[in-house]
């Protein structure tokens, strides 16, 4: 599980801002927190709330970028430019990301520092009695990137591999070592498996046809996931009875004398003894978004990864969003300790969280995002009505101005 995450000088985030998933014994209140083999206790859900343009999405983008860079940046072998952007008012061009995570009872620290076009510094360490012992360390010295520390635990790094990394396009050393098999010795194929709806320009907005094609592909090849999404929708009382795949023949747009077969995803509805089917494109935006979200949710639950989701209540009733959260907080449904971090503009969802799981985001006078945990606000108790108090401005992180 992810223990904590810190980002500095990235987009609207100027000074270092952190999110902590780990909690103390006194905050271990229910199944939404899990105890790991090494006595760590980590939350399965974490939410960020705040005004529009406060920086909530940028915190998610930072985490998604770090996980992507560690896993996939080496795969972009042609012309990759590391896409980071420091705060516009910062004098430094370097963005910094730090994550502590646990795998198989061991704790790791990973640090990545980047300027807009190159890797500046990278460190991977494993926790010992005192601090973190290096597995490797990469530094840019006098304009040249060097591997300054290398642990024999990772096996031998031959000269060819070393030169290949140092002379290639910018990518993380972690992703390079994952591709060469060195990290397999530690069981670290990636930092953490993840799914996300945020990217370089923030929250991705999918075209309905793209949703239809993707969900058809995903559900057609994964019967178990299909059944679980069906069960979820049936429990939501949407007059939903299941999915079906319809095959039909259409004219070939490239050759008028030919036809091609097309398979589409249909949604079945049953009222009393009558049943009918609609294309997913004919369903409401809420149903389309819910099916797409659940596809990612069940993928993460199956791997014990993390779901990074911007505006989880988008097109959903808060009660349905609450039910999605329960998939992560239930021990029976979340056996691999998958985690969810999400932003929201629906204060009602705060009442499904403990105070250690709620982070408030606002911008200061220098237009820099600041992130603080509700547990650090004096006088807050878990028995409080978080939604009501947030809406009255008790905690801050709400719109301000003459109209409010």
How do residues 112-152 score in pLDDT, each as one tens digit?
999 988 899 999 999 998 899 999 999 999 889 999 999 99
The pLDDT of residue 169 is above 80: no
pLDDT digits (tens, 9 = 90+) for 356-393: 999 999 999 999 999 999 999 999 999 999 999 999 99
Q: How many residues does the chain have?
A: 404
The average pLDDT across 332-353 equals 95
pLDDT digits (tens, 9 = 90+) for 173-193: 999 999 888 998 888 988 999
Q: Where are the extended beta strands (E) located within 95-239?
A: 95-103, 106-115, 118-127, 132-141, 144-150, 194-196, 198-199, 202-203
The average pLDDT across 312-317 equals 92
Give the integer Cα–Cα distance in Å for 342 and 173. 28
Strands 45-50, 358-363: pairing kind:
parallel
Q: How confident is the model at residue 200 (pLDDT cuts 50, 70, 90)?
A: low
According to the model, what pLDDT value does residue 80 have?
45
Contacts of 269 (CB under 8 A, 6+ apart): 239, 240, 241, 275, 276, 277, 278
Asked if residue 374 lies in contact with residue 380, where contact means CB atoms within 8 angstroms, the answer is: yes
Across 13-27, 209-223, 311-325, least confident range = 209-223
According to the model, what pLDDT value does residue 78 have?
44
Give the chain's mean pLDDT: 89
Entry pTM:
0.91
């Amino acid at each position: 599980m992810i223990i904590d995450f810190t980002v500095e000088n990235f987009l609207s985030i100027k000074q270092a801002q952190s999110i902590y998933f780990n909690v103390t014994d006194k905050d271990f209140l229910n199944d939404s927190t899990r105890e790991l083999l090494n006595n760590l206790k980590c939350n399965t859900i974490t939410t960020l709330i705040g005004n529009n343009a406060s920086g909530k999405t940028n915190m998610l983008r930072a985490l998604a970028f770090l996980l992507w860079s560690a896993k996939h940046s080496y795969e972009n072998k042609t012309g990759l430019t590391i896409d980071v952007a420091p705060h516009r008012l910062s004098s430094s061009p370097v963005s910094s990301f730090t994550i502590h995570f646990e795998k198989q009872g061991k704790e790791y620290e990973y640090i990545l520092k980047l300027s807009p076009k190159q890797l500046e510094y990278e460190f991977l360490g494993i926790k010992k009695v005192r601090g973190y012992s290096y597995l490797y360390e990469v530094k840019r010295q006098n304009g040249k990137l060097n591997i300054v520390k290398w642990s024999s635990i990772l096996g031998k790094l031959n000269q060819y591999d070393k030169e290949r990394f140092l002379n290639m396009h910018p990518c993380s050393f972690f992703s390079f070592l994952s591709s060469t098999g060195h990290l397999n010795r530690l069981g670290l194929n990636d930092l953490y498996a993840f799914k996300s709806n945020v990217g370089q320009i923030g929250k991705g907005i999918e075209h309905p046809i793209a949703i239809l094609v993707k969900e058809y592909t995903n559900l057609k090849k994964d019967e178990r996931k299909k059944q679980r999404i069906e069960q979820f929708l049936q429990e939501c009382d949407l007059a939903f009875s299941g999915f079906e795949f319809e095959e039909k023949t259409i004219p070939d747009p490239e050759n008028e004398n030919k036809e091609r077969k097309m398979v589409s995803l249909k949604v079945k509805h049953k009222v009393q003894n009558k049943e009918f089917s609609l294309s997913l494109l004919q369903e409401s935006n809420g149903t389309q978004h819910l099916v797409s979200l659940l596809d990612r949710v069940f993928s993460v639950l199956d791997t014990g990864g993390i779901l990074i989701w911007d505006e989880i209540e988008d097109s959903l009733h808060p009660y349905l969003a609450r039910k999605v959260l329960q998939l992560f907080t239930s021990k029976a449904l979340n056996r691999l300790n998958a985690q969810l971090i999400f932003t929201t503009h629906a204060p009602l969802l705060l009442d499904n969280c403990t105070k250690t799981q709620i982070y408030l985001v606002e911008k200061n006078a220098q237009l820099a995002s600041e992130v603080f945990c509700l547990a650090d606000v004096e006088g807050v108790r878990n028995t409080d009505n978080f939604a009501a108090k947030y809406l009255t401005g008790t905690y801050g992180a709400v719109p301000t101005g003459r109209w409010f």
